[in-house]
Structure 1
Amino acid sequence: MEPLQVDVVHFYPKENAQPHNTIKFEVVNEENPTTTIVRRGQPFNGVVRFTRPFDENEDIVQLMFTLGDKPQMDTQGAMFIHREAVTDKHMWTAKLLDVQSDTVSFEVSTPITAPVGSWALRVITRLKSSSDKAFYDFDQDIYILFNPWNPDDQTYMEDTDLLQEYVLNDVGKVWVGPIKTTRGKPWFYGQFDAAVLPACMFMLDRAEMPFHQRGDPVKMARVISRIVNSNDDAGVLVGRWDGEYEDGTAPSEWTGSVDILAQYLETQQEVPYGQCWVFAGVVTTVCRALGIPSRVVSNLVSAHDANSSLTVDKYYTETMEEMDYDPNNANGADSIWNYHVWNDVWMTRPDLPPGYGGWQAIDATPQETSSGMYQCGPASLEAIKQGVIGLGYDVEFMLASVNADLMRWRKDPEAETGFTMVDTNNYHIGRMVLTKKPYVFDPLGDEDRQDITGEYKHREGTASERLALMNGVRYSERAKRYYAIAGNLSNEITFKLRDIDTVPIGHDFRVTVDIENTSREGHNIKAALSATSVFYNGVKSEVVKKVEGKIFVGPGKREQISILVKSDEYLPKLVEYCNMKISAMAIVDETKQSWADDDDFQVLKPNINIKFNEDLIINEPSLAVLSFVNPLERTLMGCEFRITSSALEGRTMRITAPDTPPHAPVTAELPFQPKKLGTINIIATFKSNELKDINGAASVEVLEG
C-alpha cells in the first residue's frame, strides 16, 4: 500500500469567517472564495479528500503550517490529525471530526500567540508501517489575524460591542482644523477591500519585521507607526506640507486609505503625498485589517517639543519681534500645530508594570526620531496622563504634545541666560482631544464627535494636571531649568487679544487688542499687530498685513488697537486649509514689561451637499447630485470632484465640473446602481485652481424593490 495522495483540501472560507468575525472581508464573499481568513486562538474547520479511502488504523496525516520562508519554532505549527486531540490555547492541534470513505473532516486550533500573517500549509501523509512520505502543498492563502474577541489575546477588548466600531467599522471621521472651527472630515478606511491584507503583508516585509515578532501587538504597532511613513524604509506615504503636490496627490484630495494602499502594493513605491490625518487614516485601516482595535485621534493645538523640555518655547528680540528659530536648540525650533492627528490602539502591555494597558498612542507622522527611526509609540495613555515618562515608548513626546506649557522669552543682555521670560501659558496646548463616537456616523454634522481629553490628561488647572506635568518635569534636567524661571512675573498692564471665531471665505476681519493700565501712572506702549497665512503644522506662509505703532494709556484707563484685514488682501495669500494666525506683541517703554499672544482661526469654506432624487432601490439606476455655491468673487476653473463609496464600481470616481462664475452653484451628477441592501456611505472632496479642500459626505439606505 502507498501513502495517501491528497486530491483536494478545502477550508470553508465563508463558514469559518462567520464565527471568526471576518465575514466582511471581500475575498471570503466571492462565489468560490480561495482565501481563508481566521483569528488566532479559535478553532476553524477544514476537509481533505484523498485518492483512496482513509484507513484510521494504517494512515497518518500531518498538517504543517508555516509562516515566512525560513520557518522556526514560533513560525510553524505541525500536528497529526487524530480523534483524541486536546486543544490547548498555546498549541497547534488538529482534531479528527469525521471520516467518509476518502474524505476526512477536521478542526484546527491555533495558539493564542500565533504570529499574524499569511500562512502556508503542507499536508504530509505516510503509513504506520513505513517511513515513505507523500507531500501536498495547498496553494491558497490562509490569513491568521489578531483576535480581540478572545480573552486570552493581547488585543482583547472586554466590551466586545466596541469592536463593531474599532475593528469592523470601515468608515469614520477625522477631526481637522483649528479649535474654533474644527470639523469631522469623513474617511473611508476600507479595511476589508481585497487589496488591503496583501498590502499589509508587503508593508511588514518591507519593514523587515521578523516573522516571529508578528504576534506581539506592541512590536507590531511600533513597526506600523514606522512603515506608514516613507522616511526610513520606503514605507507607504511621503509626507509633504508645503503646498507643492503636482507630481502626486494632494493630501486634501484623498477620501480614504484603499487607493493609497492599492497604489503602494501595485507600484511597490512610496505614494505621494500624506499629512497627519492621511497617515492616521492608513494606520487605522492597517490595524483594523490585522485585528488590532484602533481609533483616529485629533489633538487641537498640538505641541511639537523638539528639545524634550516639556515646554514649547517662543523667542522674541529685545523689541519684541518674533524670532523664527530657537537660539537654544540647534536641531530646530519647537512648533505648535493647529491640530495634529495620530492613532490609539488597544492592547495589554505585559512589557510594562500593571495598570498601563488599554489605549496606547502611536503616531506615523514623521516628526522626531525614536531609537533612530521615524516611529512613535505605543505610549500608554495612562502613562501620558500621569506623567510617567520612563515607560516605553515615547511617553515624554506625547505628554508634551497634549500638555506642554507655552513659554515666551525676550532677548535680554542683562539676564543670566540672555533671555527674560515674557509669560507662560498653562492652558494653550492640547485644548481638546477628539475621536469618533462609537456606533454613530453623522455625515453632515458633529453628532459623532467624542471628547477624550480626559483620557490624555487631568482637567486643565487642577492639581492633578499640574502634578502629572511636574512629574514629567522632575525626570528631566532640561525641563527643570525652564520651569524654575517661570515663577516670578508681575504685570501692571493687561493685554487681551480678541478671539476671531468664524470668517466665511471672502469676508473681511479685524484684529483687536484691548489694553488696560491698572497702575497710577500713564505708560507709553509700542505694539505690533499682524495677520499671517499658515500651514496647519504651524509653519508660516506669508504675512498678509502688519501694522506697528505707539499708544499712550493713562492711569486706570482702557484703550484698544486694531487693524482691518480685507478679503482681497488675504485671498491671494491663503494656503491649503485656509488657516490664519493673528499675532500681537507689545512692550511698555517705562517698565520694559513685554507681552505677546497669537491665535489661530480658519477661513471657512462651504461643504459639498449630496442629494438623491429618489429612494435608492437595489439594482436600479439612480442619480446623486453633488453641489455647493462658489463663495468667491472669481470664477472657479479646473473643477473636479473625487467620490469614494463601497457602492461604486472600483471604489473611487473622479467627475469634472464646468468652470463656475462667482457665487454660482458648482454641481456634478453621479450615476449610481446600488448592489446591496442597507446603509451606504459616500465621501466626496472637491478641488479647483482657486479653491481646494472642500468636503462632503452622505449616508443613505438602499431598499428592496
Structure 2
Amino acid sequence: MVSTEPLIVEEVFMYEKQNAKLHNTYNFELIHLDEPTSIFRRGQPFNLAIRFNRDYIDDTDVVRLLFNFGLSPNVFRGTQGVDIVTKRDSYLTDLEAWGVRMIGVSENDLSIEVRSPVDSPVGVWQLNIETTIAGSKEPPKTYQYDRDIYLLFNPWLKEDLVYMEDETLLDEYILNDVGKIWVGPHGSTRGREWIFGQFDACVLPACMLLFDKAEMKSIQRGDPVKVSRTISKMVNCYNIQNGDEAFNGVLFGRWDGEYEDGTAPAAWTGSVPILEQYLESGGEYVKYGQCWVFAGVVATICRALGLPSRVVTNLVSAHDANSSLSIDRYYDADMKPLEYDPNNPTNSDSIWNYHVWNDVWMARPDLPKGYGGWQAIDGTPQETSDGYYRCGPCSVEAVRQGVVGFNYDVTFLVATVNADVIGWKEDPNSAIGYTRINGDTKHIGRMILTKAPWIFDPNGDKDREDITSQYKAPEGSGDERLTLYRAVRSTPTAKRFFAVPAPENEDIEFKLVDLERVNIGDPFTVTVNITNKATEKRTIRAILWAGSVYYNGVKANLVKRAEGNFVVHPNANEQLRLKVTVDDYLDKLVEYSIMKLNAIATVQETNQTWADEDDFQVIKPTITVEIAEDPVVGKPVKITLSFKNPLKITLTNCVFNYAGPGLSKNKMLKFRDVAPLESVRVEHELVPQKSGAQKIIATFTSKQLVDVTGSAAVDVLDEEDEEEVEE
C-alpha cells in the first residue's frame, strides 16, 4: 500500500558509543552521560538509524538529512550538508561533500551511513530530518534532533590537513590526557606533571565558548591554521588590559607572586579546573596563569579538538622586543647596567629562565612544500601579532632554516631560540652613543624539550625528549650561524644591529662558572675564572652580584654585590669569588626560588669590556604521593601526601591539591600552618572511577613556599580483578 502522508520521525538512534570506538573518541565523558553526545571525526563514516511511524517505502518516501553548523548554515560556505537517503555508493568518492546512503531497512527503521566532508568546520553541528512524498508539492515535515553533534579534526585520515602518518604518535599527541611540562632553569629543569584532561565533560563546551567569544567565523573553524591561531589568542586575556572589552580569553597572566584573589599558577594540577571555571562563568577569565599554564591549557584544547599537540620548553628563552634578533644589554660608562633599553624604553628585551609554548601538527598548503609538520603556537602574551597577543602557527622547519618571510611570526621564534646576546657600553665618542662589547652567541636556546611519546616517569626525567635539533642546527656550528644571518639579512632592524662590528683582539678570557642546582638552605658561590693571554699585566675592574628573579627574567631582590680592582699578570689565571650565605638569600627568594648571577669587568689598559649572566634554581622538596594497595573501581581508598618543610620559618596559607583522570576530580585541601622543618602528612579518601594504569598529581602552595609537586602511577582494579586476587 502506498501512503500519501510523509513519514513522521519518532526516534533517532546515533549509536554514540559504537561510533565513538571507530572514531577514536570513546574516552570523551560526554559520550557516557545518561543522555550521550555524539562525537565524530570529520571525513569518517558513522552510522545512525531513524524510526518512523510506519514502514519506509523506497519508491515513494523521500528522506533528507540536513546537517547545520553555526547561525546561518550555507551549503556553499561549507556550513550545511544536505543529502537525500538513497542506496547509492558514489558518495564515498567525494571527500569534500556530505554523503548519505541507506544500508538497511527493517519495517519502520531505516539504517543510514553518513560521511562528513574532510574539511568540515570543527565544533557543534545540528541535525534536521525532512520527510516528504515523491512528487508532492506540500512542504516537507521537519524533525529537529535535539542533541549536539560534535565534529573534530581527524589526524587518522590522510586527507585531513592534520593527518599524522605515524598513528602510534597519536596515542601521545591526541589521546594522552596526563603528561609533563618541563620547567626551571637549564641546570635544574624538571618535568612538572600536568593533567590535560581533554576528555572531561567541560572541555569541548569550553572550546565552543572560546570560539564564540573570539567571534570566529563558522567558515574558518575547519582550517587548522586559523583555529590554532585563534586558540593562541584566546587562551590569554591580556588584551582586556588594553581596553578591548569584547575580547575575553581564558587565563589572566601574572608573574609577581601576588595571587590572593585567585589561584597561584603553581597550585594548578591541570587544565580541567581552569576550563571548568571559564565555562561555568560564561567566559570570564580565570586567575592566574603563566607560560607553562597557558601551554597546558592550549594542549588540552588542541587535543580535544583533534589537533595533535605537544608542549615545548625552551631553556634560556629570548624575548626579543624590537625584532633585532638580539638580546641587548646596556651599561653606562661606569659599567652599571641600565634598567631600560635606550632605543626601546617602553619594552625592553628580556631573557626568561625558561619559556613554554606548544607545537601543533598540520600541513601548510599556504607555505612552500616542506614547511608542514610541527608548527609553534604560543598562548603567552609577549608581543602582538596582527593586533593581538598571539604567536603562530609558525613552521618549526622555517625557524630551523631562518626563513622569516613566512606566516606567522617566524622572526620572533628564531630570536626566541637563537638570538645573540649583545652588550652595549655607553661611549660619548661613538656616533651611536654606545660601543658594542662582547656578545654570547650560545646563551639562548640551551636546550628545547618536550615529553617523549608513550613514557611517563613519575619520579624522574626518563620521559624527556630533546628536540633542540628540530628548531636549530647545533649551537656554534656553521649551519647555525648561517641560519641566524639568513634571518638577519631579511629583517631590517636586525641588519642595523648586526652591522655594528664586534670587538676584536681581546686578550683577557672571562668565564662565569655555571651553578646548576643548590638545595634550599645551602650556601653558594659566584665564581669567575680569568685568563690573561697577553704578555703584559692587565688591570681589571670587576663587579659581581647575585639576585632573586622571577622566571620571566624580571628582577626581584638584590641578594649580594661586590666590586673591586685587581691585577692579572701575563699568562696567569685568577679567580673571583662572591660567597652567598643562607641568611643572605633566604628571605629574598620569590616564587620558584630562581637566582640570577651577573658579572661585568673592564680591562683598564685595552678598554675590553665583558659581561655575562647565569640562572639557577634553589631546589625544593617533592611531595610523596601514596595510595593504599590494590585500589578498586567504585570503592573508597586512602591517598596520602607528605613532604618536609625545608625552611626554618613557618608556612602559612597552606593548600594541597590533587587530581587524576579516572581517579579523582581536582580536590583542594586547605591545611594548617606548617612549622619550621616540620614533616607534613595529610590523608584523604578518593573513589576510583576507571580501571587500569592511572596517574595522580599533587601540588602544595603556601605564602612562603610554592611549586612543591609530586606524582604517582597506580594500577586500579575492577571488581572482577579484585575477586581473582582474593581467590
TM-score, with structure 1 as normaliser: 0.98
SS in 2 for 1:398: helix
Q: Tell me if structure 1 keeps the 8 A contact 2:210–2:234.
A: yes
1:17 paired with 2:32, answer no
Tell me how far apart the structure 2 counterparts of residues 660 and 159 of structure 1 sit (CA, whole Å). Answer: 50
Tell me how far apart the structure 1 counterparts of residues 417 and 447 of structure 2 sit (CA, whole Å). Answer: 9
SS in 2 for 1:197: helix
Partner residue, 1:423? 438
- Runs (5+) with no aligned partner, structure 1: none
Q: 1:58 pairs with 54, 57, 60, which one?
A: 60
Tell me how far apart the structure 1 counterparts of residues 88 and 12 of structure 2 sit (CA, whole Å). Answer: 22
C-alpha deviation, 1:299, in angstroms:
0.3
1:75 paired with 2:79, answer yes
Partner residue, 1:645? 660
Tell me how far apart the structure 1 counterparts of residues 662 and 364 of structure 2 sit (CA, whole Å). Answer: 39
Query: What amino acid does structure 1 have at the position aligned with 2:31?
Result: V
Q: 1:153 pairs with 134, 152, 160, which one?
A: 160
Partner residue, 1:173? 180
Partner residue, 1:100? 106
Partner residue, 1:191? 198
Query: What amino acid does structure 2 have at the position aligned with 1:667?
Result: R
Tell me how far apart the structure 1 counterparts of residues 161 and 662 of structure 2 sit (CA, whole Å). Answer: 35
Q: Tell me if structure 2 keeps the 8 A contact 1:319–1:587.
A: no
C-alpha deviation, 1:409, in angstroms:
0.9
Query: What amino acid does structure 1 have at the position aligned with 2:18?
Result: E
- Runs (5+) with no aligned partner, structure 2: 240-246, 723-727
C-alpha deviation, 1:590, in angstroms:
2.5
1:219 paired with 2:230, answer no
Query: What amino acid does structure 2 have at the position aligned with 1:141?
Result: D
Partner residue, 1:203? 210
C-alpha deviation, 1:85, in angstroms:
4.4
1:620 paired with 2:635, answer yes
Tell me how far apart the structure 2 counterparts of residues 3 and 458 of structure 1 sit (CA, whole Å). Answer: 68
Q: 2:517 pairs with 481, 484, 502, which one?
A: 502
Partner residue, 2:9? 6
CA deviation profile, 1:260-310 (whole Å, cap 9, x unmatched):
111111102011111001110010000000000000000000001111111
Tell me how far apart the structure 1 counterparts of residues 389 and 605 of structure 2 sit (CA, whole Å). Answer: 49
Partner residue, 1:40? 42
Tell me how far apart the structure 2 counterparts of residues 464 and 527 of structure 1 sit (CA, whole Å). Answer: 35
Moved more, 679-688 or 448-457: 679-688
CA deviation profile, 1:245-270 (whole Å, cap 9, x unmatched):
11111111111001111111110201
TM-score, with structure 2 as normaliser: 0.95
| Paired positions, count | 703
Partner residue, 2:243? none
Partner residue, 1:136? 143
Q: Tell me if structure 2 keeps the 8 A contact 1:656–1:668.
A: no
Tell me how far apart the structure 1 counterparts of residues 597 and 98 of structure 2 sit (CA, whole Å). Answer: 63
Q: 2:422 pairs with 380, 383, 407, which one?
A: 407
1:460 paired with 2:467, answer no
The 5 Å alignment of 1:192-591 reads 192-232=199-239, 233-267=247-281, 268-591=283-606
Moved more, 551-560 or 528-537: 551-560
C-alpha deviation, 1:489, in angstroms:
2.0
Query: What amino acid does structure 2 have at the position aligned with 1:485?
Result: V
SS in 1 for 2:279: helix
SS in 1 for 2:583: helix
Tell me how far apart the structure 2 counterparts of residues 126 and 117 of structure 1 sit (CA, whole Å). Answer: 30
Q: Tell me if structure 1 keeps the 8 A contact 2:312–2:358.
A: yes
Moved more, 488-497 or 694-703: 488-497
Q: Tell me if structure 2 keeps the 8 A contact 1:657–1:666.
A: no
Q: Tell me if structure 2 keeps the 8 A contact 1:360–1:378.
A: yes
- Pairwise CA RMSD: 1.3
SS in 2 for 1:118: strand
Tell me how far apart the structure 2 counterparts of residues 77 and 609 of structure 1 sit (CA, whole Å). Answer: 54
Tell me how far apart the structure 2 counterparts of residues 481 and 656 of structure 1 sit (CA, whole Å). Answer: 56
SS in 2 for 1:528: strand
1:125 paired with 2:165, answer no
Partner residue, 2:244? none
C-alpha deviation, 1:562, in angstroms:
1.6
C-alpha deviation, 1:693, in angstroms:
1.1
Moved more, 476-485 or 238-247: 476-485
Tell me how far apart the structure 1 counterparts of residues 671 and 416 of structure 2 sit (CA, whole Å). Answer: 41
SS in 2 for 1:400: helix
Q: 1:654 pairs with 668, 689, 709, which one?
A: 668
Tell me how far apart the structure 2 counterparts of residues 554 and 467 of structure 1 sit (CA, whole Å). Answer: 38
Query: What amino acid does structure 1 have at the position aligned with 2:79?
Result: T
SS in 2 for 1:202: helix
Query: What amino acid does structure 1 have at the position aligned with 2:62?
Result: I
C-alpha deviation, 1:22, in angstroms:
0.4
Q: Tell me if structure 2 keeps the 8 A contact 1:306–1:331.
A: no
SS in 2 for 1:71: coil
Q: 1:111 pairs with 94, 105, 117, which one?
A: 117
CA deviation profile, 1:581-608 (whole Å, cap 9, x unmatched):
0111111222221111111000000111
Tell me how far apart the structure 2 counterparts of residues 482 and 489 of structure 1 sit (CA, whole Å). Answer: 17
Q: Tell me if structure 1 keeps the 8 A contact 2:517–2:617.
A: yes
Partner residue, 1:680? 694
The 5 Å alignment of 1:579-618 reads 579-618=594-633
SS in 1 for 2:371: coil
Q: Tell me if structure 1 keeps the 8 A contact 2:328–2:423.
A: yes
Tell me how far apart the structure 2 counterparts of residues 150 and 244 of structure 1 sit (CA, whole Å). Answer: 46
Q: Tell me if structure 1 keeps the 8 A contact 2:438–2:503.
A: no
Tell me how far apart the structure 1 counterparts of residues 170 and 492 of structure 2 sit (CA, whole Å). Answer: 42
Q: Tell me if structure 2 keeps the 8 A contact 1:81–1:95.
A: yes
Moved more, 95-104 or 639-648: 639-648
C-alpha deviation, 1:545, in angstroms:
1.1
CA deviation profile, 1:444-500 (whole Å, cap 9, x unmatched):
100100000000001111111111111101112221222222444221222221221
SS in 1 for 2:443: coil
